[in-house]
Structure 1
Amino acid sequence: MKNSHPTEIELKLALTPDGPRALTDLPLLGKGALHTLTNTYYDTPQSDLARARIAVRLRQLDGAWLQTVKTAGQGGGGLSERQEWEWPRDAATLDTASLATLPPFQAESEHDLRPVIAHLAPQLSTDFQRTRWELDWQGARIEVVLDQGEIKSGSHRAPIRELELELKQGDASALWSLARALAEHVALRPSDSSKAARGNALAAQAWPLPDAQTPSQWLNRATLALDAFHDSGRAEHLNAATAALMQLAAHPALPKALAPQAATLCTTLDAHGHPARAYGQAALALAQRLID
């Protein structure tokens, strides 16, 4: 087994329906490489991995098989840092022996998941086309990917239309800078929900939101509520997102210098929950400051 990316630092952005076309037309990116990915996520029928916020995935990428394990991301405003293990497979079968050797499945981990390994089975899938670029940006090496496809969980479906910026080398500040440069031309918004988390929520038909007290927590709640709205179609989640943005804008602990960005967020979502370009620019600037 090869541990190819022990730590993944990534900025995830959701796009509007016309976002992919606008993105691929940008001279900044040029011509990208196109790949086809099919992914199966494994869990127990009782969702033990989902509760532990761990994803186990078997991926077919251009005919080759890869097995991946990811832990829950730490961060917010679209930025996450998580542990990741990935290694090649000869066939579309889960390598349970190697799973047992990884830290998330050790006895000293927060959740003892060793007993559930034998009960893992396919639970959801994500199939999409990926356009990939690799950029040198402000001294950093960044992989840019555009994913377009669908999440399938039982009879439930949700579209995949997202942009991911992954830091390969350099400082994470370059991710924010590149995202802001893209947001000048493409309508987008930060997203804090992984494909696996979205699939699990679809399966359960439940999108719980975290409590919030601080400005960064209100921004995170709004971000997750927008993710939930676009997957569920339930107006209650869009209402929760706008309410969280209003709480953020009025928060007494919000630095005065960030007040204009917070106010912009309250006025630049349309009735369908889609952001204007000004939303993405303000959300990214605000998220970077609040997280830092």
Structure 2
Amino acid sequence: MKNLNPMEVELKLALAPAGPAALTQHPHLASYPARKQSLTNTYFDTPQGDLAKARIALRLRQVDGQVLQTVKTAGQGGGGLSQRQEWEWQVPDHELDLVALADLLPFQGQLSSVLHALAPQLSTDFTRRSWQLTDGLVNPGAIGQRSHIELVLDEGEIISGGYRTPIREAELELKDGDPEALWALALTLSEQVPLRPSDSSKASRGNALSNQHWPLPEAHSPAEWLHRATLALDAYHDSQQASFLSDAQQALATLADHPALDADARVYAQALPGGLDAHGQPSTAYGNAALALAHRLAYQTELR
């Protein structure tokens, strides 16, 4: 059965090396049991990368004795927050269900002609710990609001084109309620967990790793400069090319002096350049300021 409500709203966070331990020991998670799973994922594309060019991810995931086929479109958002379409259904074995795939909207146009050429291109293998969080834990102090967020912690690696890179990230997915609950929970966690927003999916990271190519977008507005800095940090940690860390620092410096920032946003932005260590890893101050700034910029965008 395909997911009949295919809009996914999530906040992705990259963790510093000390982040996983700090997250699992966070007092807000103490009374919630964690589910632990091993996930093996194979991503498919054509040899020419037609799905990657269309910013679509297609994978088969083996978990708990089942094989799930998933399609995800490109996320819209920034500062770690994304909204994207997702379809997922169980398949009998580790073979693509091309018939059901052809029925999905993303494959109704030009991509309908490439289904026969789809083949495995990269894999992501990781251990996932997940928590189902509700109500006051999600949005401390909120009254009369009910939200359900799935918090997952993924640790493993991406293998693509003969290259490998670690996976060490958390994702907050809104299952029910207001997206504001995602920001509230992320900000609470960032007070004790060294983390930062990430704008790169596992699939996009794998594609960039295989091609050894990490393009950065042009930037003009504060939100665009924050997005550029975030992508540059993602690229640095996967490529280990020092130029990307320099790109991130330059973007953060430009952001801190941007004339379009209001007073509160400027305080957050000015805390960012000094919040990364020499290895590009975030302090808790960096993560908290980056999330607060991303939240404020997203709110200002909604008001326009």
Displacement of 1:217 after TM fit?
Answer: 0.2
Q: Does the aligned pair in 1 maintain the 2:71–2:87 contact within 8 Å?
A: yes
Aligned residues: 288
Displacement of 1:168 after TM fit?
Answer: 0.3
Displacement of 1:62 after TM fit?
Answer: 1.7
What's 1:134 paired with?
Answer: 132
Displacement of 1:154 after TM fit?
Answer: 2.2
User: TM-score, normalized by length of structure 2?
Assistant: 0.93
What's 1:113 paired with?
Answer: 111
Amino acid at match of 2:232: A
User: Which runs of structure 1 show a deviation greater than 3 angstroms over 4 or more consecutive aligned residues?
Assistant: none
What's 2:15 paired with?
Answer: 15
Q: Does the aligned pair in 1 maintain the 2:161–2:211 contact within 8 Å?
A: no
What's 1:245 paired with?
Answer: 252
Q: Distance in 2 between matches of 1:162 and 1:63?
A: 24
Structure 2 residue corresponding to 1:181, chosen from 174, 177, 188:
188
Q: Quick one: percent identity of the two aligned structures?
A: 62
The DSSP-based 3-state class of the residue aligned with 2:114 is helix
The CA RMSD measured in Å over matched residues stands at 0.8
What's 1:57 paired with?
Answer: 59
Q: Distance in 1 between matches of 2:161 and 2:247?
A: 27
What's 1:256 paired with?
Answer: 263
Structure 1 unaligned segments of length 5 or more: list them. Answer: none
Moved more, 3-12 or 215-224: 3-12
Displacement of 1:27 after TM fit?
Answer: 2.3
Map Cα deviations across residues 143-194 of structure 1 (whole Å, 9 max, x no partner): 0000000000021001000000000000000000000000011000000000
Q: Does the aligned pair in 2 maintain the 1:76–1:287 contact within 8 Å?
A: yes
Displacement of 1:122 after TM fit?
Answer: 0.1
Map Cα deviations across residues 224-252 of structure 1 (whole Å, 9 max, x no partner): 00000000000010000000001101111
Structure 2 unaligned segments of length 5 or more: list them. Answer: 140-145, 300-304
Structure 1 residue corresponding to 2:70, chosen from 54, 68, 71:
68
User: TM-score, normalized by length of structure 1?
Assistant: 0.97
Map Cα deviations across residues 18-61 of structure 1 (whole Å, 9 max, x no partner): 11011111121133110010000000000000000000000001
What's 1:124 paired with?
Answer: 122
Q: Distance in 1 between matches of 2:63 and 2:261?
A: 44
The DSSP-based 3-state class of the residue aligned with 2:248 is helix
What's 2:95 paired with?
Answer: 93
Amino acid at match of 2:21: R
Structure 2 residue corresponding to 1:159, chosen from 154, 163, 166:
166
Q: Distance in 1 between matches of 2:243 and 2:88?
A: 38
- 1:44 corresponds to 2:46: yes
